[in-house]
Copies of this chain bind each other. A is one copy, B any other.
C-alpha cells in the first residue's frame, strides 16, 4: 500500500484545537486502518510556493500519495472511502455518500462557520450581537432537517459512512453546545460517532501534534 502523507498546522490557536480539518482525514484513515504520516506546517510556511502547490488557498489539510497530491477535505475523504464500506459497496450508496458530504460542506457548514466567526467576533464588533439571531435561525433550520432524519435512523445513510465523518466534524464547529439542546437526535448522533475508536484516535493524534498552547499565535 502506498505511503500517505497528510498536512496539519503545528500552531493552532486554542479556539480551533480539536476542530481543524486534518481531523477528517485522520478519522477516515483510522476507520480504514491505513497508516499515514503527518507533515506539520508552520504558520510561516503558509505562503511558500511549496506549500501552495499542495493547497492553493494556503490551508490544511492536503494529502500526498504516490507522488500526487490532493486538497479539500471533502474530496479526500470521499476518494479514500470509495470502494470501501464507508461509501459502498453499491453504486447508489456511493452517490448518496457524496451527496451528504456536499450537504455537510455546502448546505450546513457555511452557516455554522458564520455563527462560529460571528461569536468569536462579538467582543470587538458591535454588529455581531445584532447579526446573531438571523444566523442562529438559519443554523436551526438546517439542524431541524437533520433531527428528522436522525430520529428515523442512526446515521445519515442506513449505516455509518464517510458522510458521517464530514457531518460530525462540521457540527463540532457549533460555537455553543447549547445550540444542540433542541435537537436531541442530532446530539445523540454526534456522541454516537465521536465514541468510535477511529474518531478518538484521530482527535488524540491531532492534539498530540500541536505545539503547546503557550506557543500558539
State the A residues within 8 Å of B (CB).
56-59, 68, 70-76, 78-79, 92, 95-96, 98-103, 105-107, 109-110, 113-114, 125-128, 130-131, 134, 142, 145, 148-149
Contacts and interface: CB of A to CB of B under 8 A. Distances in A.
Nearest to A170: B106
Contact of A98 (B56, B78, B106): B78
Nearest to A92: B68
Contacts of A128: 127
B131 A102 contact: no
A79 B97 CA distance: 12
As for how many copies of this chain the complex holds, the number is: 2
A106 B59 CA distance: 12
5 contacts: A56-B148, A57-B107, A57-B145, A72-B103, A131-B131
B74 A106 contact: yes
Contacts of A79: 95, 98
Contact of A99 (B75, B113, B148): B75
Contacts of A58: 145
Contacts of A100: 72
Given A107-B72, A109-B106, A113-B110, A57 B142 contact: yes
B107 A106 contact: no
B70 A96 contact: yes
A106 B70 CA distance: 15
A64 B68 CA distance: 35
A75 B95 contact: yes
Contacts of A109: 106, 110
Contacts of A113: 110
